[in-house]
Amino acid sequence: MSSSKLSDEFKRDAVAQITERGYPVREVSECLGGSAYSLYAWKKKFAKASSGEAEKDAEIRRLKKELARVSEERDILKKGEACPPLVRGQCRARISPGMQSEW
């Protein structure tokens, strides 16, 4: 696999076979008819380029988790608004001194 003959797109696709699809480096290198050392070099080269994408993906995952948590909290609070609020004076108004409680 001479690096001068192969395009960057081909190299990225080969690296994607390893990183995204989970194929072993040895298997991919055998299929392509080259050395594993070349694939490791391509992986190192193109992993640096995609590290910014990995950071963006991590940020997106974090924000989605936070959004789910906040949405759940909001839904819980909305359900609480459907119930009438307990006013402190309500319970005391039903119980006079010397009377038994209804509860």
Of these ranges, 4-8, 19-23, 93-97, the one predicted with the greatest mean pLDDT is: 19-23
pLDDT band, very low/low/confident/very high, at 66 (cuts 50, 70, 90): very high
More confident: 85 or 66: 66
Is the pLDDT at 35 greater than 70? The verdict is: yes
- Cβ proximity of 18 and 39 under 8 Å: yes
Q: Answer yes or no: is pLDDT of 27 > 80.
A: yes
Average pLDDT over residues 14-35: 87
How far is the C-alpha of 8 from the C-alpha of 14, rounded, in Å?
Answer: 10
Distance CA 3, CA 1 (A): 6
The mean pLDDT value of the chain amounts to 77
CB contact set of 34 (below 8 Å; sequence gap of 6+): 1
pLDDT of residue 57: 79
